[in-house]
Amino acid sequence: MQELGLIFRALLRNKVGALLISLQIALTLTIMVNAIFMMQQRSEQMLRPSGLDEANIFYLSNTVFAQDYNQQVYLEDDLALLRQTDGVVDAIQINAIPMSGGGWSMGLQTEAGEGKDSTGVAVYMVDDHAINTMGLELLAGENFSQTDIEWRASSQNNWPAKTIITKAMALALFPDDWQSALGQTAYINQAEPMQITGIVKSLQAPWNGWSGVERSMLVPYKMETTGGRFMIRTEAGRRDELMPIIEKALSESNKGRIIRRVTTMDDTRERSYRAHNAVNKILTSVIAVLTLITGFGIVGLAMFSINRRTKQIGTRRALGATRGQIISFFMIENLMISSFGVLLGVGGAIGLNIWLVSTFSMAPITPGLIIMGVIVLYLVGQVAVLYPARKAAKISPAIATRTA
């Protein structure tokens, strides 16, 4: 630290190289901090619970092609077969799968009529076995009873009298007190009343990028459809064993349909967040490459500076500098260059984040992340300069007496 002022003043007279490295550090910090922030946000999204017992759930498609297929009868047969299979906890017919990317949405409103505020909600048409099959946690109210379940013909447009909604949906409809939603009437299709008879803790919508992903509703329907799905929950650890057994059993029980796309919820989650994962990997690579380039830049500048100043270093040694003082000379010089870069970088990181927040409605960056980025870049700088600095310290003081 003895040469602090001297190093600073010498740097001011050799600005170009140092300035370029400072700008590189600033750019790296700007991109690094925002990239890590975006990765963090994606990781948080990927870690959100869907509300389902994902590890033990799979689903399959039931595609009907036979002309004389009695859907109402065969649905009951299928559900009975599934529920009676050894190792199956429960099973339902369902119109959409959480996180799958495809499903139904409607608007619910607390007042009937056109022009009233409505809140978007994902619709799951299920029977009274849904809570048990999905592994949902009922926070308030009660499950559907068998008598609540209606048969929904393919041409039917009206809605049943009851619904179970998620806590997030309850909060959206009744922001002051989500529990007050229980027993209230909400209106679907602007005017059709549905009584909220239950509130579950969470159940994600099929669309993971939707801002209302936590807003879902269960509707007590069994559906007439040629392309329905069954969701099956197994006892812990038996999912993979039961998947082919159930596929075979269903296929053989009725030849008027095809059973296909037997898929686990784990696979669905992985597919759903594949793009997030890919982006995170790309961002990680970008950060790593940028950091490496910055590190190499610092090594390069330091090596160039040492080669240019070999005699000067020898002279300093002749004048009494120890090897440690030569090392600390370069470390401090790098600290100064890094500090300028970091200062610019913090401004850049905040500026870029403000732009991202205003353009893409992202959350503002946390100060902790900026501090972490600053520490990382200081460390990169110090580690990068260590090798050249040690090389400089090995320069013999006798070089000072050489005339060339």
Q: What does the binding site for another protein look like in residue numbers (CB under 8 A)?
A: 2-3, 5-6, 9-10, 13-14, 311-312, 315-325, 396-398, 400-401, 403
CB 164 within 8 A of CB 129: no
* Minimum CB distance to another protein smaller for 223 or for 392: 392
DSSP 70-93: -HHHHHHHHHHHHHHSTTEEEEEE
* Minimum CB distance to another protein smaller for 20 or for 46: 20
Give me the least distance between CB of 326 and another protein, in Å please: 10
Find the angle CA(103)-CA(107)-CA(113) to the nearest 5 degrees.
155
* 334 residue type, one letter: N
E strands, 104-226, in order: 104-109, 119-126, 138-141, 150-152, 162-166, 185-188, 192-200, 216-223
Single out the residue of 274, 339, 295 nearest to residue 22, CA to CA.
Answer: 339
* Minimum CB distance to another protein smaller for 377 or for 393: 393
- Residues near 311 by Cβ (< 8 Å), separated by ≥ 6? 399, 400, 402
* Minimum CB distance to another protein smaller for 175 or for 320: 320
DSSP state of 98: T
Give me the least distance between CB of 337 and another protein, in Å please: 15
Give me the least distance between CB of 6 and another protein, in Å please: 5
Give me the least distance between CB of 329 and another protein, in Å please: 11
* Minimum CB distance to another protein smaller for 271 or for 402: 402
Helix (H) or strand (E) holding 259: strand 257-264
* Minimum CB distance to another protein smaller for 113 or for 320: 320
DSSP state of 232: E
Collapsing DSSP to helix, strand or coil, 153 comes out as coil
Find the angle CA(335)-CA(339)-CA(344) to the nearest 5 degrees.
155
* Radius of gyration for the chain, computed over Cα atoms and rounded to the nearest angstrom: 32
* Minimum CB distance to another protein smaller for 122 or for 392: 392
Give me the least distance between CB of 318 and another protein, in Å please: 5
Give me the least distance between CB of 15 and another protein, in Å please: 11
Give me the least distance between CB of 11 and another protein, in Å please: 8
Q: For the chain, how many residues are written? A: 404
Give the burial class of 108: count Cβ atoms within 10 A of its Cβ; 0-12 exposed, 13-18 middle, 19 or more buried.
Answer: buried
* Minimum CB distance to another protein smaller for 200 or for 313: 313
Give the burial class of 222: count Cβ atoms within 10 A of its Cβ; 0-12 exposed, 13-18 middle, 19 or more buried.
Answer: buried
Give me the least distance between CB of 25 and another protein, in Å please: 22
